[in-house]
Each structure stands twice: as structure tokens, then as C-alpha cells.
Amino acid sequence: MGLCMKILDIGKLIIQYGAPLLGFAIGGNAGSAIVSEIASLFGADASNPSDIISKIQADPDAKVKLAQIEASKATELQQIAFNTLKAQYDHIDHQTDDDVKDVEDARKMMETTHDWFPHVLSTLIILAFITGLILCYKVPIPNENRDIILGMSAAMMYSLFMVCRFWLGGIMPNLKVFQGAGINK
């Protein structure tokens, strides 16, 4: 087990001991400073996560000590949690924008090259999905094949979603397709 995983284990333990902000902050940029402070409070070696974990578990007053650290650094820990979550949101938001641009580029390329393949592939996927639905309701499925049919249905549903995403630009609230139509302003 790597050092990072052991440090995250310290964070999980601290959360279990009732100090969630402190435990959450250990996984962030300030993690090493917080781990050092916790190690010194419990008399553990800061470079040895296993020693820190064992000292916390052995201390009967661990919950109180961790709660005191969390209370004394509440504002700083809340800011760390906010910055961490904001960075994750910004990354997801940026990734979403990139995905939308990628799909837009694929549609533009198809329009300029007059490629017929996306039309045919989309039609086949839609027909296969509809045929699969009809067959599921009209043909009895043996019990030993239910898992296979379920897996195939999930794959077809995902394929249908990708066709919709290609032609509509994604199913997201900030679609430029819908904004141009006067929807979702």
C-alpha cells in the first residue's frame, strides 16, 4: 500500500472519529501540514502513517483531541474544503465544455464532408433499439438468458444515448442547440 493511500486512511479514521472537515482536508493540498500537526499531538512519527493511525486508535481521548483541532481551525478547514470542491467542479465543468465542443466538431465535420455514415449508423442503432424493445415484450425470454438480454439492452440504451448526444449536442442544461432555439436562457 502506497504512502498516499495510508495518508487517506488517516483521513478516513479521523472522519470516523467525528472530525469530518479535518479528515477531508488531509486529502487536499494542506494534508501534509495537518498530518504533521496530528502526529505531534499524538506523539507519532509524522512520516509514518501507520504509526499515526495506531497512536490515534490507542488514545482514549482521540475524539476530543481531533475535535479540538477541528474547532480551532474550522475557518481554514472550511476554506480548504470549499477550494477542493470548487476545483473539482471547475474540472468537471471544463471537461463538459470540451465534450460539447468535441461533439460539435464531429457534426461540423460531417456537414462539410457530406458523410453518409453517421446517418446510416444512427438509423441502424435506433432500429436495433426499437426492435430489441419489441422483441423483449413479444418473445418470452428463458431465465438463463435474462442476464445476457439485460446486458445487451444496457448496451443498446447507451448506444441510443450516444446517438442522441451526437445529433442534439448532449443532454445538458447549457446546450447551445437549445439556447439558439430560445430555450433555457
More confidently predicted of 11 and 131 = 131
Give the count of beta carbons closer than 10 Å to the beta carbon of residue 157. Answer: 13
Question: Cell for 116?
Answer: 453518409
List Cβ neighbours of 8 (8 Å cut-off, separation of 6 or more). 26, 27
More confidently predicted of 174 and 51 = 51
Whole-number pLDDT of residue 103: 66
Mean pLDDT over all residues of the chain?
A: 78
* Residues 4-43 pLDDT 10s: 667 778 888 888 888 888 888 887 667 788 888 888 889 9
Whole-number pLDDT of residue 58: 92
Interatomic CA distance for residues 43 and 92, integer angstroms: 40
- Domain-wise residue ranges, the chain: 3-79, 116-180
Q: Are 94 and 125 in contact (CB under 8 A)?
A: no
Q: Are 8 and 28 in contact (CB under 8 A)?
A: no
Out of 59-68, 85-94, 130-139, 154-163, least confident range: 85-94
Interatomic CA distance for residues 6 and 10, integer angstroms: 6
Question: Cell for 79?
Answer: 476554506
Whole-number pLDDT of residue 47: 85
Whole-number pLDDT of residue 175: 45
Q: Are 41 and 33 in contact (CB under 8 A)?
A: no
Q: How big, in percent rounded to 5, are the helix, strand and coil portions of the chain? A: 80, 0, 20
Interatomic CA distance for residues 180 and 162, integer angstroms: 21
List Cβ neighbours of 43 (8 Å cut-off, separation of 6 or more). 55
Whole-number pLDDT of residue 92: 66
Tell me the percentage of the chain whose pLDDT exceeds 90. 6
Q: Are 177 and 183 in contact (CB under 8 A)?
A: no
More confidently predicted of 136 and 120 = 120
* Residues 92-128 pLDDT 10s: 666 666 666 666 677 677 777 777 888 899 999 999 9
Look up the pTM and report it.
0.46
* Residues 145-173 pLDDT 10s: 888 887 888 888 888 888 887 777 654 44
